[in-house]
Amino acid sequence: MSISAGFLYVGEHGVYSGGGYTATLNNTLSASLQTLEHLRSNNWLDNRTRAVFMETVLYNPHANLFAVV
């Protein structure tokens, strides 16, 4: 876990100020599920969690372009 300054997010159900905690998911499904289970079992994710944001960076080597999704 780490704390980040973050950006302002506007969603359907509210505005979420920047900052908060981040967790990095692995590049394999099993390792990512293990991380998510660790977060859930240690009460980082529960029924009081306001929002979860997922971001990824994609790279197209043919066009030499990055996309943040």
Q: Read off the tokens for 45.
A: 């994710």
pLDDT one-digit tens code per residue, 8-47: 888 888 888 877 788 999 989 999 999 999 999 999 999 9
| DSSP assigned state of 45 | S
The predicted model scores a pTM of 0.68
Q: Read off the tokens for 57.
A: 């960076």
